[in-house]
Chains A and B, each alone.
Chain A
Amino acid sequence: GENVEQHPSTLSVQEGDSAVIKCTYSDSASNYFPWYKQELGKRPQLIIDIRSNVGEKKDQRIAVTLNKTAKHFSLHITETQPEDSAVYFCAAKTGNTGKLIFGQGTTLQVKP
């Protein structure tokens, strides 16, 4: 069935360092890959997304890359700040429905 694997489950970095979170999806027909940030007690917030016809997308300090052949995509955060500390979820969608399959989440801790 549809599945998204996310690694690592926890990640600790020093302020100013880069952080990379990786996801692998199983459905080769997946066409949309969003990333959500969820702070404690808050709703998941869409931070960046990429469609299957694009290989890379960047928005200030965050970027996402997609490798369709290998069926994996990654989130890159540069110059990390303490406020980047949160749980990050990747997801994949197939077709034109709203069904998102989520990874298990990565808890990112940025140490000042």
Chain B
Amino acid sequence: KAGVTQTPRYLIKTRGQQVTLSCSPISGHRSVSWYQQTPGQGLQFLFEYFSETQRNKGNFPGRFSGRQFSNSRSEMNVSTLELGDSALYLCASRGTGTVNYEQYFGPGTRLTVT
């Protein structure tokens, strides 16, 4: 099976702009989670989507939002970008059910806000 893919891989934006990141999960996986990785804060959970519904949300402001499509692909949007939003954004997919706990990460999107 192909792994988790993310586009774009790199992005440079200016403060105040908005950005949309995309994640395609492993075929058959219906759960997609998003994480922000920074040197100072480590890996922090943003939200999880399952069957087009947000299932869980981390402690991030409302500027961070997401959605999931019927084919399980997910997008994450950040509005009114701030310098502190510069980070590696990772998505991870997993199968569903009580036996499928393993999450597999995509390569990430490196966002730089100037």
Hey, which bits of chain A sit against chain B, CB under 8 A? 32, 34, 36, 42-46, 49, 51, 89, 91, 93, 96-105
Can you show 9 pairs from A to B with CB atoms below 8 A apart? A34-B101, A43-B105, A46-B104, A51-B101, A93-B101, A97-B55, A98-B103, A100-B92, A102-B35
Is there an interface contact between B101 and A44, defined as CB atoms closer than 8 Å? no
Contacts known (A42-B107, A43-B108, A44-B43); A99 close to B101, Cβ less than 8 A: no
The 8 A-B pairs with the shortest beta carbon distances in the complex, nearest first, are A102-B43, A98-B33, A98-B48, A43-B105, A32-B101, A97-B56, A99-B56, A44-B105
Which residues of chain B have C-beta atoms less than 8 A from A45's C-beta? 105
Which residues of chain A have C-beta atoms less than 8 A from B104's C-beta? 46
- Total contacting residues, chain B, CB less than 8 A: 25
Which residues of chain B have C-beta atoms less than 8 A from A101's C-beta? 45
Which residues of chain B have C-beta atoms less than 8 A from A98's C-beta? 31-33, 48, 50, 55-56, 92, 94, 103
Is there an interface contact between A49 and B102, defined as CB atoms closer than 8 Å? yes
In chain A, what residue has the closest Cβ to B4?
A: A43
Give the Cβ gap from A37 to chain B, nearest Cβ, in Å.
11
Which residues of chain A have C-beta atoms less than 8 A from B62's C-beta? none
